[in-house]
């Protein structure tokens, strides 16, 4: 067995340890100071998430009404069911777009603030740190 093969053996164990660390949700607490300035954006994103989840659960019910409505003789009732299903699908599309926009905007702003903080910290380090 060569030295390169023996040296590469511990790598899977190390990746398993890193995977266990990545599963811990507590490490996200470090993001709290960077997300604090965007509380309104966070709440709006959560509201959009709840809205789209609720509408996603309503859509099959509306489609079921349309499908079951084919047995009725009332065309007006079937039209109402169909319009309601289309309205729910439209609401789902708008909510999903809004959620995507809010989460993307929040993520970009938080990442930009983290980059600024890292850059500021690096700039204020002493030259001795960079010599080591």
Let me know if residue 23 belongs to a domain.
no
pLDDT at position 22 over 90: no
11 or 33, which is more confident? 33
pLDDT at position 51 over 70: yes
For residue 131, give every residue at least 6 positions away whose Cβ sits within 8 Å of its Cβ, in sequence order, or none: none
Let me know if residue 48 belongs to a domain.
yes
Query: How many domains is the chain built from?
Result: 1
Let me know if residue 54 belongs to a domain.
yes
Residue numbers of the domain that contains 110: 32-131
Per-residue pLDDT tens over the stretch 70-114: 776 777 877 888 888 889 899 999 999 999 999 999 999 999 999
Let me know if residue 10 belongs to a domain.
no
pTM: 0.68
For residue 55, give every residue at least 6 positions away whose Cβ sits within 8 Å of its Cβ, in sequence order, or none: 88, 91, 92, 95
**What does the alpha-carbon distance between residue 30 and residue 40 come to, in Å, rounded to a whole number?**
19
Let me know if residue 75 belongs to a domain.
yes
């Amino acid at each position: 067995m060569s030295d390169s093969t023996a040296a590469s053996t511990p790598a899977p164990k190390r990746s398993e340890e890193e995977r266990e660390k990545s599963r811990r949700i507590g490490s996200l607490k470090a993001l709290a100071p960077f997300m604090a300035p965007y509380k309104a954006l966070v709440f709006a994103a959560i509201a959009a998430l709840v809205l789209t989840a609720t509408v996603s659960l309503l859509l099959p019910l509306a489609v079921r009404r349309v499908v079951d409505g084919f047995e009725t003789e009332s065309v007006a009732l079937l039209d109402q069911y169909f319009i309601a299903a289309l309205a729910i699908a439209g609401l789902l599309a708008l909510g999903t777009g809004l959620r995507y926009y809010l989460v993307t905007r929040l993520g970009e702003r938080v990442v930009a603030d983290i980059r600024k903080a890292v850059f500021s910290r690096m700039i204020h380090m002493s030259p001795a740190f960079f010599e080591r």
